[in-house]
C-alpha cells in the first residue's frame, strides 16, 4: 500500500502569506532539500512573458533526483495555510507555467538553479491568479519503511496580480484580546479579517493602547499579511506590555496602499503580576508598619513640623 507524505507545501504565514504574510520569506525545506524563494509576487499584464529562477539545494549526503510539476492551490483555515490541488479554477496558472526540464539531479550538498517561465495569455481577466511550482523526490529517493513510500514535496507559490476592473474589499469579522485579564506582561490581541474582493492584497496597520484617561501609551505595529480572495486571515499580535489596570485597544488596518481602512476597538485588564505583586507586598508591609508604629510616627512627624 503506497502512502505519500507532502512536506513543506503548506505555508504558514497563504499569502499568507503568500506574500510576506502568507508565506515566510525564507527557504522552505524538507529533510533532504530546500528551495528559495518560497514564493513569488508578480504584477503583470496580459500577454507578458516572465522568467524567474528558483534555487534548489540538496541537503543530503546522496545524489538527489527531483521531478517538477505545476499545481494549483486553495487557501484553508485562518492561519494562511494552502492546499495543493489538481482542480482548475478561475485563479489557476498551471497552464501558464513552462519549464525547460521536468526532472533533474543534484549532487550531495550542492545547489542547482531551476528556471521557469510564465506565459500569461492575452485574454487573461484582471484580478488574482496563482499556482505553485512543485519539486518532488523520485521513487528512487524514497525511503521504504514497512511498505510505506515517502515522497517529499516542496512548492514555491506564484501569485500574479493583473490590473484592471478588480474589486479590492475587506471586512473585519472580529477584534478582541485572547483573554480579558492578563496576568503576565505578554499581551495577545486577535483580529480576523476577510477578503471580500476579487484580488489578493496585504493588510497592515497598528494597535494603539490607551489608558482610562484616553492617553495613548503604546503603539504596536501589526505584521503585514496577505489574504487571498474569498478567504479569511487571523492576525494574532503578541507584544510586551508593562501597564497595570484597565486599557482600551484601538485597531487600525489599511489596504489598497492605505486608501482603505478597517477599524475596531476592544479592551483588556492587565494585572502584570511580575510588577504588581512586589508593589502590593511593599504597600502591605508599609501599611502594616504604620499601623503598628503609628503613634511614634505621628509624634515624630509633629516634631519635624514644629521644627
- 113/183 same-domain check: no
- More confident call, 242 vs 193: 193
Answer yes or no: is 262 within a domain: yes
- 47/94 same-domain check: yes
Sign of CA dihedral 209, 212, 213, 214: positive
Q: Where are any strands of DSSP class E within 163-289? A: 170-177, 181-182, 186-195, 201-210, 216-227, 232-240, 245-255, 260-270
**What's the domain count of the chain?**
3
Answer yes or no: is 131 within a domain: yes
Average pLDDT over residues 217-224: 92
- 240/282 same-domain check: no
Encode pLDDT of 166-186 as tens digits. Answer: 889 999 999 999 989 988 889
Encode pLDDT of 59-79 as tens digits. Answer: 999 999 999 999 988 887 787
- 6-10, 62-66, 185-189: least confidently modelled range: 6-10
- 196/293 same-domain check: no
- 66/143 same-domain check: yes
Pairwise CA distance, residues 59 & 48, whole Å: 35
- 152/38 same-domain check: yes
Answer yes or no: is 6 within a domain: no
Q: What is the CATH number of the domain that holds 148?
A: 2.60.40.10
User: Radius of gyration of the chain from Cα atoms?
Assistant: 28
Pairwise CA distance, residues 131 & 93, whole Å: 5
Answer yes or no: is 4 within a domain: no
Answer yes or no: is 9 within a domain: no
Domain boundary among 94, 127, 162: 162
In which element (H, E) is residue 36 found? strand 33-36
Average pLDDT over residues 94-106: 94
Encode pLDDT of 113-129 as tens digits. Answer: 999 999 999 999 999 99
Domain boundary among 162, 195, 227: 162
Answer yes or no: is 5 within a domain: no
- 149/19 same-domain check: yes
Answer yes or no: is 1 within a domain: no
Q: Closest Cα to residue 77, out of 134, 14, 6?
A: 14
- 35/116 same-domain check: yes
- 196/259 same-domain check: yes
Pairwise CA distance, residues 217 & 207, whole Å: 11
Note the pLDDT of residue 13: 32
Average pLDDT over residues 264-291: 68
- 150/229 same-domain check: no
What is residue 124's DSSP assignment? P
- 40/146 same-domain check: yes
Domain boundary among 104, 128, 162: 162
Query: Judging by DSSP bridges, how do beta strands 153-162 and 127-137 pair with one another?
Result: antiparallel
Domain of 295 in residue numbering reads as 274-307
- 149/227 same-domain check: no
Answer yes or no: is 24 within a domain: yes
Amino acid at each position: 500500500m503506497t502512502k505519500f507524505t507532502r512536506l513543506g507545501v503548506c505555508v504558514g504565514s497563504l499569502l499568507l502569506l503568500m506574500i510576506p504574510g502568507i508565506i515566510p520569506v525564507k527557504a522552505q525545506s524538507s529533510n533532504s532539500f530546500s528551495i528559495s524563494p518560497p514564493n513569488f509576487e508578480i504584477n503583470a499584464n496580459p500577454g507578458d512573458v516572465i522568467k524567474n529562477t528558483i534555487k534548489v539545494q540538496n541537503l543530503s549526503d546522496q545524489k538527489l533526483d527531483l521531478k517538477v510539476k505545476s499545481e494549483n492551490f486553495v487557501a484553508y483555515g485562518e492561519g494562511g495555510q494552502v492546499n495543493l490541488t489538481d482542480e482548475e479554477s478561475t485563479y489557476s496558472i498551471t497552464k501558464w507555467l513552462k519549464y525547460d526540464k521536468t526532472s533533474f539531479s543534484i549532487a550531495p550538498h550542492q545547489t542547482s538553479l531551476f528556471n521557469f517561465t510564465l506565459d500569461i495569455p492575452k485574454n487573461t481577466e484582471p484580478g488574482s491568479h496563482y499556482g505553485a511550482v512543485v519539486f518532488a523526490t523520485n521513487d528512487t529517493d524514497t525511503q521504504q519503511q514497512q511498505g510505506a513510500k515517502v515522497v517529499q514535496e516542496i512548492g514555491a507559490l506564484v501569485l500574479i496580480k493583473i490590473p484592471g476592473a478588480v474589486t479590492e474589499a475587506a471586512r473585519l469579522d472580529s477584534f478582541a484580546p485572547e483573554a480579558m485579564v492578563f496576568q503576565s506582561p505578554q499581551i495577545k490581541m486577535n483580529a480576523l479579517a476577510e477578503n471580500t474582493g476579487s484580488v489578493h492584497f496585504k493588510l497592515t496597520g497598528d494597535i494603539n493602547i490607551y489608558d482610562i484617561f484616553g492617553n495613548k501609551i503604546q503603539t504596536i505595529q501589526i505584521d503585514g499579511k496577505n489574504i487571498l480572495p474569498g478567504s479569511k486571515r487571523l492576525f494574532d499580535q503578541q507584544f510586551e506590555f508593562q501597564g497595570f489596570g484597565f486599557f482600551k485597544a484601538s485597531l487600525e488596518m489599511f489596504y489598497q496602499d492605505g486608501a482603505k481602512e478597517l477599524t475596531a476597538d476592544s479592551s483588556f485588564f492587565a494585572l502584570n503580576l511580575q510588577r504588581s505583586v512586589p508593589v502590593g507586598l511593599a504597600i502591605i508591609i508599609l501599611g502594616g508598619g504604620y499601623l503598628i508604629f503609628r503613634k511614634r510616627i505621628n509624634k515624630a512627624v509633629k516634631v519635624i513640623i514644629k521644627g
